Amino acid sequence: MNVTACKVCGNEYDKPITVKVDGESNVYDCFECAIHDLAPTCTHCRVKIVGHGVEADGEMFCGAHCAGQSGIETLRDRA
């Protein structure tokens, strides 16, 4: 059996989650580890963005509020 260690915590699990990013396979034992590694971080409040989030000037924010706090005022949350 091909057991692969989680990229984040090193746990070995026989049913890993594989996520391809830019053609490169990343292996995780659980979604929590995948989110930890792959989810972008809000530039303002450092929270992990697991929903839509907003992008402005190449920066990721968890919402328009944080973008506004960072001086970007043209964004609105998608209703």
Q: How far is the CB of 77 from Zn ion (least distance, A)?
A: 11
- Region 3-32 residues binding Zn ion, contact defined as CB under 5 A: 6, 8-9, 11, 29
In the set 54, 56, 62, 72, which binds Zn ion (CB under 5 A)? Answer: 62
| Helix (H), strand (E) at residue 64 | helix 64-69
Structure tokens at 73: 């005022």
Which residues make up the interface to Zn ion (CB under 5 A)? 6, 8-9, 11, 29, 33, 42, 44-45, 62, 66
